[in-house]
Amino acid sequence: MLERNLPGFSSSLGGAAKGVGKYCIFPLPDYVTDMALVCVEDFEKKAEAHLEKNALDYYRSGAGEQFTLGLNREAFRRLRLRPRCLRDVSRLDISCEIFGERMKWPLGIAPTAMQKMAHPDGEVGNARAAGKAGSIFILSTLSTTSLEDLAAGAPETIKWFQLYIYKDRTITEKLVRRAEKANFKALVLTIDAPIFGHRRADVRNNFSLPSHLTLANFQGIKATGVASSNMGASGINEYVSSQFDPTISWKDIAWLKSITHLPIVVKGVLTAEDAVLAREFGCAGIIVSNHGARQIDTVPASIEALPEVVRAVGDDLVVMLDGGIIQGNDIFKALALGAKTVFVGRPAVWGLAYNGQKGVEEMLSVLRKDFEITMALIGSQTLKDIQPSMVVHESQYAKL
């Protein structure tokens, strides 16, 4: 048991409060009482012991000398919280709605490729954990679980599908049709990867998908007249890599919009200029993202780019963010600066590598409780109470 000297406090933190008066006592989950896993970094340390070097380096590496990878965290540390006191936070409501779907809290799982490298539960385990937490799960096109198997394995989870526009547009169109049929609720078009970034660790390791796994969404797709089932896993991988299209432009988003009824979210926007173009071409949402710092080094942290995107289109599009989120006050800072929800990628992989679906569930529970603590201590009972004035850059204080 953990005793907290908070008279009458009975929010959702740590479950229902026991007792009133001098002490409120909040029972902690079993996995917290063993003092093993209390923050996302703890899950990362556990994951390091479970992952082979090839997979570990793939998941955690960034582009170039990895300056932006570190900046994704450092930029959050440069933001200061300005808490408001004596505000009733006895009952917290952190639910939100995105594209008509109700979420229990403003956090989802970002698309991450090849999750069965982390654990046999793979994408299905990750999606089930997201569903239990009341979060969105975004399935990567480059997944080791097919759209159909993910839909069957996690039917209660809100699912979006991440995709690329390939050289062979019929591949993209077939993937879209499959996503629609499998009841995915939105398409997340990654627009910052006309080619792959230079990830030095992958080059050094000569990274490749383990031979017992395959890019499941491409099994059976015909490549230049040859069924991919006849190519083997390595052949599928090479074919998919060859399909990335450096000629892609905004007119291709207009094409994508013309072939689907699903809302289109563009992922990888870092500037107001591209945010305005996303609005002009009919996108429903934006994920401000630097691809986990995996595409090009020395671009801004996602949280640094968020304010200009919100100023440009925040009243017209649903603006979201991924990159660098590992604790509750990171979520709060992103929401205060205008994001409607945030996504985590690597933290979910760390939970998955540690203990499959249960590991992701535990990681999300730790992160949610940390966010609830932040909400209460900053004086925000609901998400609507979060104000931009509650977060400022450290330079505001340096002037003193």
- Mark the binding-site residues for FMN, compressed into ranges: 111-113, 140, 162, 190, 267, 289, 345-346
Residues marked as binding for glyoxylate? 58, 164, 199, 291, 294
Catalytic residue among 50, 212, 261, 291: 291
Q: How far apart are CA 104 and CA 64, in angstroms?
A: 37
Three-state DSSP string of the chain = CEEECCCCCCCCCCCCCECCCCCEEECCCHHHHCCCCCCHHHHHHHHHHHCCHHHHHHHHCCCCCCHHHHHHHHHHHCEEECCCCCCCCCCCECCEEECCEEECCCEEECCCCCHHHCCCCHHHHHHHHHHHHCCEEEECCCCCCCHHHHHHHCCCCEEEEEECCECCHHHHHHHHHHHHHCCCCCEEEECCCCCCCCCHHHHHHCCCCCCCCCCHHHCCCEECCEEHHHCHHHHHHHHHHHCECCCCCHHHHHHHHHCCCCCEEEEEECCHHHHHHHHHCCCCEEEECCHHHCCCCCCCCHHHHHHHHHHHHCCCCEEEEECCCCCHHHHHHHHHCCCCCEEECHHHHHHHHHHHHHHHHHHHHHHHHHHHHHHHHHCCCEHHHCCHHHEEECHHHHCC
Closest Cα partner for 302 from 346, 246, 343?
343
User: Other C-beta atoms within 10 Å of 65: how many?
Assistant: 11
Closest Cα partner for 349 from 364, 370, 368, 336?
364
The answer to whether 123 and 98 are in contact (CB under 8 A) is no
Residues marked as binding? 58, 111-113, 140, 162, 164, 190, 199, 267, 289, 291, 294, 345-346
Active-site residue, 291 included: yes
Please identify every residue annotated as catalytic: 291
